[in-house]
Structure 1
Amino acid sequence: MATWNLTNMNKHVLICNGSTCMRKGGEEVTQVIRNEITKRELDAQVHTTRTRCNGRCKDGCVVVVYPEADWYFEMDEQRAKQMVVSHLQNDQPVKEWVAYERSGDRMQLLNGRFKGTEKGEKK
């Protein structure tokens, strides 16, 4: 296992690899994002992490970019490529694909996405 030097990192991309997102192309999205980061020589600035379920299965495949806290929905290979160029390389989030973004100290729902169950409520 590698232990990366993260001192030059300025973005962290969390790619959902939970079961629903995997059925919706999570593996392909993961590989495209990682390949595009390498192709564009962004490896030192952008770190990626595969996650388990992020709790937004209806939005699958989910990709989250920090420090902005932009939660991308319905990511596929084409969107993944465009997101790397626009957001990770040029620092311009693709807002029409963002379900949630940070607004002050809270998250704000965008693009008419399904709100979901309140945390703490029974499903």
Structure 2
Amino acid sequence: MTPEERRELAAIADKLLIGHFHRHVFLCLGPTCCASEAGEAAWDALKRELKDRNLSLAAGPAACYRTKVGCLRVCKGGPVMVVYPEGTWYAGMTADRVPRFVEEHLVGGRPVEDWVFARNPL
């Protein structure tokens, strides 16, 4: 990587506040674990909730980064989501569940146990 490429990447990371979040949410959009439409709807709900609560592109104790993925390899019960560093794995994360997830897990620090199917903390 050239010094110029490194500077460009550092500027992007700065703009995205990489280094300031406390959690990273990965959401699988399907199509194997769920219909792609359900995955996209959940993604849109997650983006909206994080933005409305100033948790995305923000600093602070509940600051959160989000990434949509094509497969988390579970391939059942989707949309599937994992939250790091806790390593909390969720099933059935449809758009209607996202507000409760954000409130309880990301803001309150309490996973929604009824939807958790595995854990792998980092």
1:82 is matched with: 100
Matched, 1:62 2:52: no
**Contact residue 18 and residue 54 of structure 1 kept, 8 A:** no
Structure number with the bigger relative contact order (C-alpha 8 A, sep ≥ 6) is: 2
1:53 is matched with: 71
TM-score by length of 1: 0.76
Whichever structure has more strand as a proportion of its residues is: 1
TM-superposed deviation, 1:21: 4.1
Whichever structure has more helix as a proportion of its residues is: 2
- Identity of matched residues, %: 33
> 4+ residue stretches of structure 1 with deviation over 2 A?
none
Q: Distance in 2 between matches of 1:56 and 1:10?
A: 25
Deviations 1:97-117 (A, max 9, x none): 0010137x8xxxxxxxxxxxx
Q: Which runs of 5+ in 2 are unaligned?
A: 1-11
Q: Which has the larger radius of gyration?
A: 2
- What pairs up with 1:1-123 in 2 under 5 angstroms? 3=13, 4-21=16-33, 23=35, 25-43=38-56, 44=58, 45-102=63-120
TM-superposed deviation, 1:75: 1.2
Q: Which runs of 5+ in 1 are unaligned?
A: 106-123
TM-score by length of 2: 0.77
